[in-house]
A = this chain, B = another copy of it.
């Protein structure tokens, strides 16, 4: 049945029984794919009935359906001509994990960050009104995404517009991990009273409100959608669904089955995971837990992805010294400012791609006030997440030029932990650390560097003619280039671990102008606005030539890192060749 659904139009011919069959086949297809391929498991399993109902009752793409953060868009993809990507393993990669206008007219936006759907819907609806058109605008948002302030701004403005916009809150009582915040008490009360409680958050904001307890009952959902379709005012449907519905392990452990995979359908265990080896994540966890035990003012923060730092058991252990603020990166940043001001030692762990949601809070609240908060920047690398909506290659341009803030790029476990310890204990300025991506590098030698000597780089090999600065994750690349130059071309290059991204080592750079002809910078992020360009600028009026390497300014999507680097010219061979050419043409 599922394979016969080429577009939502096909659903409209089906009997209730046939639609129920579609539901069951879609859930089966989901399980088949995500158990083999991985993905956002729980959210999608929970919205099978809702999605079938949406596409049966509404007329996409005339009616506009917008799925917040895309975590619950897989069934939507199945019903809009893309079912093969879920039923045929050879086609699994035909579709991205997110809504994607390049795949289908039924996907309005590429979305991978939370809490945006309501503001997008508000814009789509406003454009409809300006054009004097008539159709439904529907946004589906999970309860977890409601913790982001943008969702609240969206709710406010949808009511202000006052015309047709149907907000569906898919309430499965779970964010990525458990929910945090006052709103969730209200959602709980509303669930317990079947929507009848006084002090209804959504009604307070001015919505026509409907509650549905049985969000996994296809007919019940369809009836509710039919009731509000073509409404001439904003409507909010609060629909309770079961995260992980239909897969007992996912229903039982909603945090584990938010996303991941592949996993065994029989045992519910993720495959191929080894927890024996230490990683940068695990050494961070160990370090922080020890630190917290020694110092009750050390407090770790995270916005909705606590498993980056601590498992549920570890969270129970650290207690009040860990705060999950919900998916609310802005609050995490500004709360860190408040904590640091009042004498606590905040350490905020955040993925590079999500940190950009708090640029102003980092600048205006933390950096302007010059408060000693620590930001641990995860997944900041071409080798981090490779979806166009989740790239970790923009943080050097947007973070390192904020005044007062010191941005560090460690190259080994020892360096990383020394920086982290220094950052937590110092009280002079905010510090961000670009947590290395990839296997743990261990030198075996404790790092005794005094990081309060700002912008002091480490010269790890002294040479002449050629100097190579390898920033953080790209330091090994600098070493490899130096080796190639030495072995094949008899050039002993100077190799530098800059350690500081947010400023240049002027004294060192000045000294290099004496007996070096070319200086190379390598950074694991986009070239434009990056570290290398500050070096090129500093040396602009000298005779020292500068070669900057970094990624192109683009939203690269589902790439293979090695291929992207090769295409960008970031390989040992290519860079050595360009160094040799530059040295040769020295005038």
Residues of A within 8 A of B (CB): 64, 101, 108-113, 116, 119-131, 147-160, 180-183, 185-186, 198-201, 203-207, 296-297, 299, 320-321, 323, 325-326, 328, 330-331, 334-344, 346, 356-357, 359-361, 363-365, 367-369, 388-389, 394, 397-398, 400-404, 518, 526-530, 532-534, 536-537, 539-543, 545-548, 553-555, 578, 582, 587
When the two chains form their complex, are residues A541 and B582 in contact, meaning their CB atoms are under 8 A apart?
Answer: yes
Choose from B149, B198, B359, B526 the contact partner of A359 (Cβ within 8 Å).
B359
| A578 partner residues in chain B, CB cutoff 8 A | 541
| A359 closest partner in B (C-beta) | B359
A2 to B193, CA, bound (A): 54
Chain B residues lying within 8 Å of A328, measured Cβ to Cβ, are 153, 156-157
Can you list 24 pairs linking A and B with CB atoms under 8 Å apart? A122-B331, A124-B341, A127-B297, A127-B299, A127-B344, A130-B296, A149-B149, A149-B153, A153-B331, A157-B331, A160-B180, A160-B182, A198-B198, A199-B199, A199-B200, A201-B205, A359-B398, A368-B389, A401-B526, A518-B541, A527-B537, A537-B546, A541-B547, A587-B587
Question: By the criterion CB–CB under 8 Å, are B297 and A364 in contact?
Answer: no
Q: Top 6 A-B pairs ranked by shortest CB distance?
A: A149-B149, A123-B338, A159-B182, A156-B181, A540-B546, A127-B342
User: With A325-B157, A326-B156, A368-B388 given, is the CB distance from A335 to B119 under 8 Å?
Assistant: yes
A323 partner, pick from B126, B326, B336, B402, beta carbons under 8 A: B126
Q: Closest approach, in angstroms, between the C-beta of A276 and any C-beta of chain B? A: 34
Which residues on the B side are within 8 Å of A180 (C-beta)? 156-157, 160
Find A335's partner among B126, B299, B357 (CB 8 Å cutoff). Answer: B126
A404 in complex: contacting residue of B122, B124, B364, B555, CB < 8 Å: B555
Contacts of A367 in B (CB 8 A): 555
The answer to whether A356 and B365 have CB atoms under 8 Å apart is no
With contact pairs A334-B119, A533-B529, A548-B540 given, residues A155 and B130 touching in the complex (Cβ less than 8 Å): no
Oligomeric state, in number of copies? 2
Q: A149 contacts B147, CB within 8 Å?
A: no
Are the C-beta atoms of B126 and A339 separated by less than 8 Å? yes
Within the complex, the shortest CB–CB distance from A216 to chain B, in Å, comes to 26
Residue of B nearest to A581 (CB): B541
A403 and B554 contacting across the interface, CB-CB below 8 Å: yes
* Chain B residues closer than 8 Å to A149, beta-carbon distance: 148-153, 330
CB distance from A396 to the nearest CB of B (A): 9
Inter-chain contacts of A364 with B (CB < 8 A) = 111-113, 116, 356, 389
Given A149-B152, A182-B155, are A338 and B119 also a contact pair (CB < 8 Å)? yes
Q: Could you list 13 further interchain pairs (A-B, Cβ under 8 angstroms) beyond the known A120-B335, A130-B344, A149-B152? A: A116-B334, A123-B346, A131-B296, A131-B297, A149-B330, A153-B325, A154-B334, A200-B204, A356-B360, A368-B388, A394-B402, A397-B398, A529-B533
Chain B residues near A547: list those with CB within 8 A.
Answer: 540-541
Asked whether B337 lies within 8 Å of A299 as measured between CB atoms, the reply is: no
For A159, the closest partner residue in chain B by CB is B182
In the bound assembly, the distance between CA atoms of A129 and B149 in angstroms comes to 25
Q: How far is the CA of A359 from the CA of B358 in the complex (A)?
A: 8
Known A365-B116, A540-B545; judge A553-B122 contact (CB<8 A). Answer: no
A101, B205: Cβ atoms closer than 8 Å: no
Which residues in B have their C-beta under 8 angstroms from that of A330? 119, 149-150, 153
Nearest B residue to A401 via CB reads: B529
Cβ-closest chain B residue relative to A324: B160
